[in-house]
Structure 1
Amino acid sequence: MERDPKDKVIVVTGGARGIGYEISDQFLQSGAKTLIILDILEDVGVNAAKTLNDKYGEDKAVFIKCDVMKDLEKVSEEIFQKYQVDVLVNNAGILNEASFKLTMDINCIALVEWSMKFWEYMRTDKGGRGGTIYNIASIYGFEYSPWAVYYKTSKYAVIGFSRTLGHPFNYEKSGVRVIAICPGFTDTAILTGNSWDWQKEGFENVMANDVTMQTPDTIGKAVVEIFTFAETGSVWVKANNEPMKLAPMCAM
């Protein structure tokens, strides 16, 4: 598949605000044909699509209300009937240390299910034309610290899944590139998620004193920037307002 954002149809889960919205904005700025925003926040999603259409032209952005845990079959069927999708960005996620199950369901299980649905749809060996899947993980998928136990577990899983499904062996068969993106601390709503009581003070102290906060647009720009050259199975880190870096791979 041609590695140029121009004229691509792109689906972004959790695309109504934050990193998802900025990824959508940057893809349209780079010439994408259509940007399909999926989000459970209907009012925010409608406004996001309107803002992007006002900026880039009528019908460049489409909003579909979607709960990633419940609406995969219904929403994917609707999309596949109307569009030839080139890129899926799995961005929807939460930080909720009160519920391991909910965290894994949204951050990991739903991400895997959406990835596999679109992977099967895009597969060149099954009549598709190939494509790209981005999975938004986190720097917390690498870091060793006591904070955000459930969130961190889910993001470790996302990295492992993305590297494995995106392995060149699978890419050669399917023609579908899979890439993981690991943002560092970024100023989004997810940082308001709860933590364990005895970790709250320490985690807030880390955020206040030990990290360099990024803005969501820096992630959006970096994601689109690497579209032209990132290899399948690669994992990229964008943290501390530094340029995107390729994470080292472990091979056996």
Structure 2
Amino acid sequence: MFTDLTTFTEMNISVLLLITLLITTCFTDVNMSFDFNGKIALVTGGARGNGYAIISELLQKGIRGVTMIDVDAERGQQAAHELNNMYGYSKVIFIPVNVSQATQFEYAFRVSMWHWNGLDIVINNAGVTGENNWISMVNVNIIGTVQGTYLGLQYMSKSGRGGVIINLSSTLGVDPDYYQPVYDASKSFILSLGRSISDEL
């Protein structure tokens, strides 16, 4: 059975506290005795910022392995190396992917499944800002999140174990400001997507 925890909204607190709260709340709601041991996660936008902190927190919780996805190949390799040094060799694999590109993204899921022989958690964190490049913003924030959600459902269904999908949004998806309308709309879309899929499942 799938639990789509849909969307956790960014808060104005430290990243580490945010990620700890996100993961603790997420898996407490799913199962009061959720055990990360043996579980596999795939995290997009994982090379820096919130994505990096999410992976670090998952590793601290004892997860078996993480597939890190990011468009920045150089930083992604460096980040995976750092995390493997901190938490144990081969805990993290890195796959360079532009999440707006369906072929690349699907390939990453296939490689992840082959490498870990399973998938339990998908965290769609990748996102971009910058109203001057709104096409890229729509491609990553909206198309990338939709693709990550449906690929997660597809590949976790194959395992027969179900899983968890988390799509990160922003408070601006609920309370938009006046100077970045496309970004705010993209985050509002993520909230609506999560609610709709939760109802469907």
Counterpart residue type for residue 73 of structure 1: E
Q: Confirm or deny that 1:75 pairs with 2:105.
A: no
Whole-angstrom CA distance in 1 between matches of 2:177 and 2:129? 16
- Matching residue of 2:151: 117
Q: Which runs of 5+ in 2 are unaligned?
A: 2-30
Instruction: Summarize the alignment of residues 79-228 of structure 1 with structure 2, pairs less than 5 Å apart.
Output: 79-83=112-116, 84-123=118-157, 128-167=160-199, 169-170=200-201
What is the CA-CA distance between 1:127 and the residue it aligns to?
A: 5.6
- C-alpha contact 2:41 2:67 (8 A) present in aligned 1: yes
Q: Secondary structure of the equivalent of 1:62?
A: strand
Whole-angstrom CA distance in 1 between matches of 2:172 and 2:50? 16
Whole-angstrom CA distance in 2 between matches of 1:133 and 1:30? 17
Q: Deviations over 1:70-126 (max 9, x none)?
A: 211222221222220110110110002013322111001111011101112223xx6
Work out the percentage of aligned pairs sharing the same amino acid.
Answer: 32
- C-alpha contact 2:176 2:184 (8 A) present in aligned 1: no
Counterpart residue type for residue 68 of structure 1: V
**Is the alpha carbon distance of 1:144 and 1:58 closer, same or farther for their aligned partners in structure 2, counting shifts above 3 Å?**
closer
- C-alpha contact 1:121 1:128 (8 A) present in aligned 2: no
Q: Which runs of 5+ in 1 are unaligned?
A: 171-252
Counterpart residue type for residue 56 of structure 1: Y
- For these two proteins, the number of residue pairs brought into alignment is 167
Whole-angstrom CA distance in 1 between matches of 2:159 and 2:63? 23
Counterpart residue type for residue 67 of structure 2: I
What is the CA-CA distance between 1:163 and the residue it aligns to?
A: 1.1
Structure ID, larger Rg: 1
Q: Secondary structure of the equivalent of 2:129?
A: coil
Q: Secondary structure of the equivalent of 1:132?
A: strand
After TM superposition, the score normalised by the length of structure 2 is 0.78
Whole-angstrom CA distance in 1 between matches of 2:100 and 2:182? 18
1:11 paired residue among 20, 34, 42: 42
- C-alpha contact 2:177 2:184 (8 A) present in aligned 1: no
Counterpart residue type for residue 196 of structure 2: T
- Structure 1 outlier segments of 4+, above 3 Å: none
Which structure features the higher share of helix residues?
A: 2
Whole-angstrom CA distance in 2 between matches of 1:41 and 1:105? 16
Kindly indicate whether structure 1 or structure 2 has the higher relative contact order, using CA contacts under 8 Å at least 6 residues apart: 2
Whole-angstrom CA distance in 2 between matches of 1:127 and 1:33? 16
